[in-house]
Amino acid sequence: MKKCIGNSFISFFPDSSTPKTIIIDEIVVDPKFRRQGIGTQLINHVKNYVSQNKNLYNQITLFADPLDESVIFDNLISFYKANGFTQDSELANLMFWPPV
């Protein structure tokens, strides 16, 4: 039997926004399987989708908001920065890929 150990919810905003954005609403990996590259695989899946659909999308946006009190904000930022995202200059939890 297969088990789900990671999940992400994304929203699509083609045409109606500038830049044309996919928003990662939530990304979570089972605590027992963290630091094994699974979150990166989920992010890469979205990046590949953007790269393959350049006519529809040119950016991924997200708000780095800890899922619960066990999640340290700075660690979340480290995760997204390790995956090539940059922080907005004003809103610390707003992040973009590719960097703007």
Ligand X SMILES: CC(C)(COP(=O)(O)OP(=O)(O)OC[C@H]1O[C@@H](n2cnc3c(N)ncnc32)[C@H](O)[C@@H]1OP(=O)(O)O)[C@@H](O)C(=O)NCCC(=O)NCCS
Instruction: Please count the other Cβ atoms lying within 10 Å of the Cβ belonging to residue 21.
Output: 19
Q: What is the closest distance, in whole angstroms, from the C-beta atom of residue 1 to ligand X in the complex?
A: 22
Q: What is the SS3 assignment for 54?
A: coil
Q: What is the closest distance, in whole angstroms, from the C-beta atom of residue 5 to ligand X in the complex?
A: 9
Q: Is the dihedral of CA 44, 15, 96, 31 positive or negative?
A: negative
Residue nearest to ligand X (CB): 39
Judged by beta carbon, residue 71 or residue 100, the one nearer ligand X is 71
| Residue positions counted in the chain | 100
What residues make contact with ligand X under the rule CB under 6 A? 26-29, 34-40, 64-67, 71, 75-76, 78-79, 82
